[in-house]
Amino acid sequence: MATTLAIILQSALLFTPVNQTIQQQVIQKLDTGMLHPRTREWAYPVNRVEVPDDSPCLLWPGIKGKTVKYKVLLATDSLFKKDVITGVEQRWAVYPLHQSLKPGRWYWKYAASEKAGGKWNWSPVYDFIVKKQTQNLSVSPPVTTILEKSKAIHPRLWGMNKGADAFYSNNKQNPEAKIFIAASTKLLGQPLPEEKPTRPRDTTGMTALQRKQMVEFMYHGFGEKVATPIRNLCIAYQLSKDERFIKEAIKRAVHVARMNPESLATRDDFNNGNILEGLAWLYDAGYKFLTAEEKAVLRRTISIRGQRIYEGLPNRFELQMCDNHVWQHILRNFSIAAVAVAGDLPEANEWLTYVYEVWSARFPVLGTTDGGWHEGNGYFRVHYETLIYLPELFGNISGVDYFKQSWMQNLPYYMLYSYPPNSTSTAVGDMHENLKDMVKMQAVFADALSMKMNNSYLNWYVSEIKKSKPEYFKGNDDFQLFRLLNFNPKAVKQIALPSALPKGREFKDIGLAAMHSDLTHAGKELASYLMANPFGAAGHGHAAQNAFTINYKGKKIFGGTGFYSNFSDAHNLLDYRSSRGYNTILADSLGQRIGEDGYGWMPRFMTGEHIQYALGDASNAYGEVTTDFWLGRFKEIGIKADKRSGYGNSGVKLYRRHMLQLDSNYVVLYDELEADKPVKWTTQFHSPFMMNGKNTVNALSQQFDVKTGFASVNAAVYAHTPLQMVVHDKYNYPAKNWKGKTDDEGNIIEFKDQWHAGISTVNPVRVNRFLTIIQLKNKTVEVIKMVNEVNGLYNLQVGVWNIMAELNAANPASLVVKSAIDNVAFSYGAMPVKIQDKVYEHNIKGSSMLIEIKNKTLNRQEVVDSLPDVVNFDAGL
């Protein structure tokens, strides 16, 4: 214990000088190993940081052990004698304060004891500042209040102990309620479920590991299959008061309760969680109809299945950046069960205490305030049910409207900018390839969210999907209960077109810059995205720092490549998840590390009428794979994370990518690259459409076309050193749909070959710069004209745009872009720009400056590096 605390203290001291100096730098560098470690490694809040609100949550690293207990002490003096707040002993390493603190400096510390009656070892004293007029939107009540409320009579889920009659009467004329009741009638008298695979597969010829994974795959969804009818019958009873439904639910629940918790069908964590929730639903909704014996059977099974989940949570789950399976489904299943049986099962009080405290301290787990989700939109969908139902559940018992939290309020903008209607999504993270068009889960989630949000842009988002995909809003889906709980036939939703919004938006917490030419008509526009993720390549996220996605006319032109065949098979690790599968940089053919330490961040962003701009920094993304989790995944399939696999230490020490979208037809990239040794630099491009390399006279440039069938696309790359290009249509490791994976509509996915271009320096160089100009046109692309080139300073003309880029690494980096017809210019570095006979100088050398004049109104923006909140408030700094 003492050793661990000493290491934590030493780390905090090492970070401190960085924090004192980086704020003064125009170009800032982060030297910390990771910003979001897989498991918390430092305390928060520390070092007199100004906390965002007056009711912060205290977090700290855990001490290994099943019997560990913690406690905290808080005061307004370092001797802990004034305004003292003393926490009770607890098994988990989070402490939400559940009260507003007065402004000023606060001190805190925590202690850990490894066993009952053992010695308490105290941490160093930490401190933070509560600013004046910094107030929480709504301070959540203490857990004692929650436990008292949990003693409410059954049914208590979703506030039914007080609101059952209102739920019944409010939905009496609701057409969806009538359809739901009619559908539930078909369940009456049906055979009880058998324990057999939900999707049988032939495992002949598979390896032992593949066979194990396939068995899990075959029974995936069994818990949902047997539990959902129980839940729906309970809801049908509450909607109709027809006792046939609750009696059928009892028959099914008692049958399922007697299934063996260790069987192949129910032992999986997802299946166990779904069954737990289904039994809890019936226990609560059908309480007055149950016999004493039936109650005992249900309580016993709920206890076994619930405790099985709970014993794997304290002193582990709350410490992890994100245990995906728990946050996706199991936390929701477990929380619903905890509320349903609290007071009836003594252990359930501790369950409820734990989930409420962790929810209060950690939500949203893969974002902070900007509304984004670091793993990308493919796997974001898997969290949607939890993101809808747990705010509702905990809101019922706490009185807090969690939908008014900053992250929730910004979520509609993340959805709109990263996955607009009538278009495709950003192409990053697991399952991104399934989002070629708007999918049903996205549509119905947005619809459900709009019932709690007074957001006219979200209402427009939903209305647009209803126009193009009306079939998505018919039949069953995962948010029916939520709509029934919040049904309001008198509600009038205001709609606003996104044309009133800025064309681009930055989501700094997750490192995403989104740039659009016309969000209102996303199926016809140009959209470009740059990713530089502070969370790193963790969980379902990928090694895609400074990678870009470009969508045109609603289709992906450039983006991540490959298919989600499995979480970590050979195709996944050698291609799909790796940097080799993204539009980013390789050094000596080596990509970025997988893991939390392979991170990026977004130092700068500006959006204007004609020019949008983002700067990503992936300087910390390269190196050996070091995390035990990912090394274990490589070992599991008999592959090493070495240079033959595209991993290893390439020596990259600087990688800053500037990205500009110019009106609706051009994207410009300017890369600043440096390694600690000469390397061959490769800039990559991936597309589902055929690529065709073009002959170039100048050895310092390469270009290729993309054959889409609906647009003309060309990419040209320039450098101050000779370049070579390879274009092909093969993966580093073949993509095979060996699991028979299906899309959102249940169709087997065909894993097709895609196209790839790599443009590399012929010779190794230690420092390099690439300039890339991408044209996307309805008809013919422009010929890029070389105005002049003086020792690496390129002056190019493409259409109405003049681009001047310093590609000689011996000179200071510089990029200037100017329109010949609009009063618009951009400058990075120190070079001034002239518009209407007026010269605009940089106020700060090395800044990025945007000048736009419209109707004699000047829009001038100038930015230098700014840090993400995780650095400003956390990250041990």
How high is the pLDDT of residue 200?
77
Name which of 146, 138, 143 is nearest 401 in CA terms.
Answer: 138
Give the residue extent of every domain in the chain.
2-130, 154-326, 516-538+560-873
How high is the pLDDT of residue 7?
27
How high is the pLDDT of residue 4?
30
- Per-residue tokens: 510: 């997750």
CATH class of 154-326: mainly alpha
In CATH, 516-538+560-873 is 2.70.98.70: yes
724 alpha-carbon distance from chain centroid: 36
8 Å CB contact between 807 and 718 = yes
Residue type, 656: R
Pairing of strands 555-558, 585-587: unpaired
- Per-residue tokens: 2: 């003492």
How high is the pLDDT of residue 10?
27
Same fold, 154-326 and 516-538+560-873: no
The number of beta carbons lying within 10 Å of the beta carbon of residue 127 is: 16
The Cα 795–Cα 805 span in angstroms is 7
How high is the pLDDT of residue 265?
81
Is the bond into 502 cis (omega within 30 degrees of 0)?
A: no
93 CB-contact burial (10 Å; exposed 0-12 / middle 13-18 / buried 19+): buried
Which residues fall within 8 angstroms of residue 303, CB to CB, at 6 or more apart? Answer: 345, 347
User: Could you give the C-alpha distances from 595 to 33, 373, 543, in angstroms and in order?
Assistant: 11, 17, 8
CATH class of 2-130: mainly beta
CA dihedral 228, 234, 235, 237 (to 10 degrees): 140
User: CA Rg, the chain, in Å?
Assistant: 28
Which residues fall within 8 angstroms of residue 738, CB to CB, at 6 or more apart? Answer: 206, 210, 565, 566, 569
CA angle (84, 88, 93) in 5-degree steps: 100
Write out pLDDT tens, residues 683-693: 999 999 999 99
The Cα 456–Cα 464 span in angstroms is 12
The Cα 215–Cα 811 span in angstroms is 59
8 Å CB contact between 701 and 716 = yes
8 Å CB contact between 599 and 535 = yes
8 Å CB contact between 125 and 107 = yes
Name which of 365, 415, 419 is nearest 390 in CA terms.
Answer: 365
The number of beta carbons lying within 10 Å of the beta carbon of residue 361 is: 18
How high is the pLDDT of residue 232?
98
The Cα 661–Cα 614 span in angstroms is 9
Which residues fall within 8 angstroms of residue 59, CB to CB, at 6 or more apart? Answer: 40, 43, 44, 93, 94, 95, 361
Name which of 694, 702, 833, 671 is nearest 765 in CA terms.
Answer: 671
The Cα 404–Cα 400 span in angstroms is 9
Phi-psi region of 387 (alpha: psi -120 to 50; beta: other; left: phi over 0): alpha
Pairing of strands 690-694, 601-607: unpaired
Kind plus residue range of the DSSP H or E element containing 609: none
8 Å CB contact between 230 and 278 = yes
CA dihedral 564, 630, 202, 229 (to 10 degrees): -70
Q: For the chain, which residues score pLDDT lower than 70?
A: 1-24, 134-137, 366-367, 875-877
8 Å CB contact between 762 and 724 = yes
- Per-residue tokens: 859: 């829009």
The Cα 830–Cα 814 span in angstroms is 7
The number of beta carbons lying within 10 Å of the beta carbon of residue 318 is: 23
The Cα 563–Cα 569 span in angstroms is 11
In terms of residues, how long is the chain? Answer: 877
- Per-residue tokens: 445: 């989630």
The Cα 508–Cα 407 span in angstroms is 12
How high is the pLDDT of residue 382?
94
How high is the pLDDT of residue 637?
95
Is the bond into 420 cis (omega within 30 degrees of 0)?
A: no
851 alpha-carbon distance from chain centroid: 33
Instruction: For residue 73, list its beta bridge partners.
Output: 86, 109
- Per-residue tokens: 772: 């890339």
